[in-house]
Structure 1
Amino acid sequence: MTVSLALALAAALQVAPTETVPPVHPMTLRSGGPIAADRAALRLAHADLAIEALPARRMLSARATLTLAANAAVPRIPIDLDDVLTVRSIRVDGRPLDRARWRQAGGQVVIDTPLVAGQRTTIEISYAGSPRVAKRAPWDDGFVWSEWKGKPWFGTTAQDTGCDLWWPCLDFPAGEPAAVDLHLTVPAGLSAPANGVLRGIDRLPDGRTTWHWHAGSTNPYALAISVGPYREIKGEYRSRFGNVIPLHFWHLEGKDEQAKQLFAEFAPTLDFFESTIGPYPFGDEKVGVVETPYLGMEHQTINAYGNGYKPAPEGFDWLFQHEFSHEWFGNQMTAADWDDFWLHEAFASYMQPLYGKWREGDARYLSMLLIQRQRVANRAPIVSGSSRTTREVNGETGPGTDVYFKGAWMLHSLRHLIGDRAFFAATRRLVYGRPDPKPGNFTPRFATTREFETAVAEETGKDFGWFFDVYLRQAALPDLIEQRSETALMLRWQVPGDGPFPLPVEVEVDGVRHTLPMTGGSGAIAVPQDAHVVIDPMAWLLRRSPAIERMQAPRVATP
């Protein structure tokens, strides 16, 4: 965007902030889930967003130019956008569209322009307003307005509610734009790091700057604005795959020493992921992190960091490591439907104890996993089998945090069951869509739960549907029933639905370890009456724990 265009936008689109914020429409709250045919037929080939942030008034002035393609004939073009952002004008393929041919209501802008299958069109939407404010980001969404040393400091987060909180988009996973250009105009003295590669910075006569960013295929909710009085640390990482990856960290003024310590974690964390999973997916763009006034979020190539540089017993920053893992699990490999959301969060959560193991060994691995185990709730199946919205997954009736911790423990049990070679090979297929990823031979992709199950079956030569059905499609955990006689120990799996569950069990008898194959879901081993027995001594099995259930139960106040 040129300097003159930035000035024209600011002059034309500034409006007075509204006194009262209208209630958020259910359509705006909705991200993903079942999609109407006219929305499902659309794909976003390119998004060009020219946005001026006006922090003194907590407003945006913007123009979005969307290049859309239709997979099937559609009678109209519905674009998702929060009603608090007022559309001023629309142009279609460069021509102004008469006001009677478009309407804004119910969390959408509906444009009465039909498309035939295979047709492409360019929609230019000029809009402005005060975006919704997040009260408790990132657990709710919107803008977070703050200050640092008297200067504006703010950012966006939109995972649950979706991209339509601040830009006109297709708010479902397949609505991911194939390419994005961001032109962010900000007040003097502020920086605006964003997704992708910086193409240049224009300096306007009054001291404002416009930052021009270009990114490839980007998750709609992972597109982000972050603005503040930043200082930048940068470097390079020479990948084990032969390419050189730029490293960038934008941190607040006055936090130089803490920032240097966190920046020192970038290269070893990157090496862990590349050696364990495969090539960094966005090596032609950057590894980017920006300090934000909220905890964090996996914004593609510009991960939000707000953990306050807290020291941790693991020796690394969990927040940085978790959000960075989403570059593989969430940004490179994106769940095709939010019902598959565990593919993002379970793998990202499991990567933390695996990183602890990579750094320090099994003791650290198990100690981190056992902390996660206490947070498994088992309130709803992780996978429902139906298309779901983000709020249905994260809400009261959905699996909630089980997509993180129960999913991570399921992966822990699966790795032991099938072995490291098959586990990581199947994971690689899930992430890259191929067994041999190298820089340049893969692109971002969508994936499903069934696809991971198929990859496991192909790598092992066995069907583990019984395993995934119990852990992913049932709420309750399998219960290992123990019975002991004077001469033997009998074990039996009891699972929801009473289906097959031949998950092997390790038993330690007087210090000697044995494995019971549990064919048919049960097994037995000779045990002397006075022998000391430990079942599952290395904690490989995700199973019911009465001790954890008692710990999780609501406490009754004593009189």
Structure 2
Amino acid sequence: MFKGFKITVVTATIALLGSVTAFAQRPITFADTLRGSVTPARAWWDLNYYHLSVEVFPETQSLKGTNLVRYQVEKPGETLQIDLQEPMKITAASQNGEPLKVEKVGAAHFITLRKEQKAGEINEVLISFEGKPKVAVRPPWDGGITWQKDANGKDFIANSNQGIGSSIWWPSKDHPADEVDSMLISVTVPKGLMDVSNGRLINVKESKSTTTYDWFVDNPINGYGVNISIGDYVHFSEEFAGEKGALSMDYYVLRDNLEKAKSQFKDAPRMMEAFEHWFGPYPFYEDGFKLVEVPYLGMEHQSSVTYGNKFANGYLGRDLSGTGWGMKFDFIIIHESGHEWFANNITYKDVADMWIHESFTNYSESLFLDYFYGKKAGQEYVRGTRANILNQSPIIGIYGVNRSGSGDMYYKGGNMLNTLRQILYNDEKWREILRGLNKEFYHQTVTTQQVEGYISHQIGMDLKPFFDQYLRETSIPTFEYYFSEDNTLNYRWNNCIPSFNIPIDISLGENNVRLHPTVEWKKLEVGAPLEVQVDPDYYVSTLKIR
């Protein structure tokens, strides 16, 4: 999901920054630990399959349904944790037809099992639930369900819940470390409406007053990526000749917006072409790709990317980079679809590592421009986004308590990755690394350490000081220099951790030179006090001290 904020242009998003900061600073509670850690009641069982069946009642803004949870026993256990947030309620739980005791502690529900749970077994628990889920006030940043009407007075409904979690509207194992392997989503809506969810539509069942849509997800999926999108949709489609063959690309929009969508959604196959080049094959060929209009800005729901950017280029018609390049593409189509590789294919194990989703996907915007308009365009765009970086708190959050880091994971994270590209100074190798990440960690949940280690190994450098500086600190390294009386260039890194030691490319007069500064002064004999310019694609500061 995009949490954009631009100080000088997008004033409305200043409130968003406040909400991100407030969330990061609020006191940690026991409920945060139950939500954000792999508790004993989560650790002993591995998700295998969900069948989420839910009926949607627009008139009362309520839901009712069941979730069949199939799991493999990793080691013996007696209590199973399922999460569902108030005001939604679990009304019953059973295994093999026998009712089970459910103890509620906040959003966590501890289900006591009667059957002995033997390692290696595949078992199921059926959970019934109902209620009026939280209404999203500022979707997608304030999670919940959005209940609206379209221009013709028909219901227009969707969920968005990246931060607040899937358990805001359906009972689930609401922790990112364990993704379900596959899933059936059955959504019943009033007749005349359509539901679009993840995966492929495999069946439609009609009754006198309702229609049920069955969607099957053939790939592992993170909980927050599961979605319902309900409206008076019309459909069009195309096939993309991708790296793994023909990929179906389906589009669902409100009836009145069909012609606008046919024009604007031309960015979707362009996105797919650029990102398969940079990141490797689209990760979910079996489930296809969908772009679905919703009554909020948009989200990265796996294989069912949601869209609400008003069929205009930029971010709601604005260029977040201030360079002009941001108006060359529809921001939501490009950014949210980029999450198919970074968020849905490669998923963090802990929300503290959200940068893995957002830094790479922010960076994907510049790579899209690079692919279609050249490297200069992509570099100008990513440099332009620096005006949005605040450097008030670290990018990495607090582990084990469902606490993400700062919003700098977007623009600062993108510039951090672009700096790595400059350090490597081999664009084809850089492309291999990006593609390699998606191959090495295909359909996996990962940690920051895994990503750092992979990139360090591929580049052939110990990048721990680099990642420590940009992910875990707020200061931006300063390249300091001066010329001594004997015309020697003296230089060092300052305003950084003691171990920071990345190389830097500078122009020294008419020559390009790569230096290897540390926090200690180094010298280079140059013969004259020449003009020094640091490569602007490094996200660092420069200071001539005398």
TM-score above 0.5: yes
Partner of residue 429 from structure 2, selected from 422, 427, 436: 422
Cα gap change, 1:242 to 1:428, in 2 (>3 Å): closer
Paired residues of 2:86 and 2:133 also in contact (CA < 8 A): no
Cα gap change, 1:128 to 1:218, in 2 (>3 Å): same
2:546 paired with 1:540 = no
**2:207 aligns to what?**
204
Paired residues of 2:84 and 2:90 also in contact (CA < 8 A): no
SS in 2 for 1:334: strand
Residues 23-82 of structure 1: CA distance to partner in whole angstroms, max 9, x if unpaired? xx9777778532211212222211001111001110111111111223222221121111
Partner of residue 223 from structure 1, selected from 221, 226, 251: 226
Paired residues of 1:476 and 1:496 also in contact (CA < 8 A): yes
**2:287 aligns to what?**
285
> What's the RMSD between the two structures over aligned residues?
2.3
In the comparison of the two structures, how many residue pairs are matched? 498
Cα gap change, 1:367 to 1:389, in 2 (>3 Å): farther
Task: Determine the C-alpha separation between the residues in 1 that align with 2:178 and 2:417.
Answer: 29
Task: Determine the C-alpha separation between the residues in 2 that align with 1:183 and 1:72.
Answer: 31
Residues 201-241 of structure 1: CA distance to partner in whole angstroms, max 9, x if unpaired? 111122x21100000211100001110111112111111x2
Task: Determine the C-alpha separation between the residues in 1 that align with 2:121 and 2:508.
Answer: 66
SS in 1 for 2:337: helix
Cα gap change, 1:125 to 1:417, in 2 (>3 Å): same
Is there any run of 5+ residues in structure 2 with no aligned partner, and where? 1-27, 315-323
Query: Which amino acid counterpart does residue 88 of structure 1 have in structure 2?
Result: T
**1:413 aligns to what?**
419
**1:243 aligns to what?**
245
Q: How many Å apart are 1:425 and its aligned residue?
A: 2.6
**1:102 aligns to what?**
102
Task: Determine the C-alpha separation between the residues in 1 that align with 2:35 and 2:251.
Answer: 31
Task: Determine the C-alpha separation between the residues in 1 that align with 2:80 and 2:514.
Answer: 60
Task: Determine the C-alpha separation between the residues in 2 that align with 1:247 and 1:183.
Answer: 21
Cα gap change, 1:204 to 1:471, in 2 (>3 Å): same
Paired residues of 1:28 and 1:161 also in contact (CA < 8 A): no
Paired residues of 2:345 and 2:444 also in contact (CA < 8 A): yes
**2:341 aligns to what?**
328
Q: How many Å apart are 1:348 and its aligned residue?
A: 0.2
Cα gap change, 1:332 to 1:126, in 2 (>3 Å): same
**2:481 aligns to what?**
482
Task: Determine the C-alpha separation between the residues in 2 that align with 1:430 and 1:383.
Answer: 19
**2:113 aligns to what?**
113
Residues 96-147 of structure 1: CA distance to partner in whole angstroms, max 9, x if unpaired? 305xx22344212221116343333211112211000111111110001111
Task: Determine the C-alpha separation between the residues in 2 that align with 1:174 and 1:305.
Answer: 27
2:176 paired with 1:169 = no
Cα gap change, 1:366 to 1:145, in 2 (>3 Å): same
Partner of residue 60 from structure 1, selected from 52, 59, 63: 63
Paired residues of 2:264 and 2:312 also in contact (CA < 8 A): no
SS in 1 for 2:287: coil
2:399 paired with 1:387 = yes
Paired residues of 1:28 and 1:165 also in contact (CA < 8 A): no
Higher RCO structure, 1 or 2 (CA under 8 Å, sep 6+): 2
Query: Which amino acid counterpart does residue 85 of structure 1 have in structure 2?
Result: M
Cα gap change, 1:58 to 1:448, in 2 (>3 Å): same
Q: How many Å apart are 1:422 and its aligned residue?
A: 3.4
Query: Which amino acid counterpart does residue 128 of structure 2 have in structure 1?
Result: S
Paired residues of 1:345 and 1:403 also in contact (CA < 8 A): yes
Query: Which amino acid counterpart does residue 244 of structure 1 have in structure 2?
Result: A
Q: How many Å apart are 1:282 and its aligned residue?
A: 0.5
Residues 168-194 of structure 1: CA distance to partner in whole angstroms, max 9, x if unpaired? 111111232111101111112111111
Paired residues of 1:59 and 1:129 also in contact (CA < 8 A): yes
Q: How many Å apart are 1:488 and its aligned residue?
A: 4.3
Paired residues of 1:502 and 1:517 also in contact (CA < 8 A): yes
Query: Which amino acid counterpart does residue 402 of structure 1 have in structure 2?
Result: D
Paired residues of 1:102 and 1:109 also in contact (CA < 8 A): yes
Task: Determine the C-alpha separation between the residues in 1 that align with 2:311 and 2:481.
Answer: 46
Task: Determine the C-alpha separation between the residues in 2 that align with 1:262 and 1:31.
Answer: 43
Task: Determine the C-alpha separation between the residues in 2 that align with 1:545 and 1:179.
Answer: 51
TM-score (norm 2): 0.86
Cα gap change, 1:122 to 1:361, in 2 (>3 Å): same
What does residue range 442-453 of structure 1 map to in structure 2 within 5 Å?
A: 443-453=442-452
Residues 281-325 of structure 1: CA distance to partner in whole angstroms, max 9, x if unpaired? 011111111111111111000111111112344321111100001
Cα gap change, 1:217 to 1:168, in 2 (>3 Å): same
Higher mean C-alpha displacement, 257-266 vs 191-200:
257-266
Paired residues of 1:423 and 1:456 also in contact (CA < 8 A): no
Task: Determine the C-alpha separation between the residues in 2 that align with 1:238 and 1:74.
Answer: 47
Query: Which amino acid counterpart does residue 265 of structure 1 have in structure 2?
Result: D
SS in 2 for 1:254: helix
SS in 2 for 1:290: strand
Task: Determine the C-alpha separation between the residues in 2 that align with 1:58 and 1:411.
Answer: 43
Identity of matched residues, %: 27
**1:403 aligns to what?**
409
**1:440 aligns to what?**
none
Query: Which amino acid counterpart does residue 387 of structure 1 have in structure 2?
Result: Y
Is there any run of 5+ residues in structure 1 with no aligned partner, and where? 1-24, 394-398, 435-442, 547-559
**2:306 aligns to what?**
304
Cα gap change, 1:290 to 1:122, in 2 (>3 Å): same
TM-score (norm 1): 0.84
Task: Determine the C-alpha separation between the residues in 2 that align with 1:409 and 1:199.
Answer: 42
Q: How many Å apart are 1:264 and its aligned residue?
A: 1.2
**1:7 aligns to what?**
none
Task: Determine the C-alpha separation between the residues in 2 that align with 1:244 and 1:496.
Answer: 49
Paired residues of 1:333 and 1:445 also in contact (CA < 8 A): yes
Task: Determine the C-alpha separation between the residues in 1 that align with 2:526 and 2:42.
Answer: 63
Task: Determine the C-alpha separation between the residues in 1 that align with 2:33 and 2:229.
Answer: 24
Cα gap change, 1:151 to 1:364, in 2 (>3 Å): same
Cα gap change, 1:494 to 1:138, in 2 (>3 Å): same
**1:461 aligns to what?**
460
2:368 paired with 1:369 = no
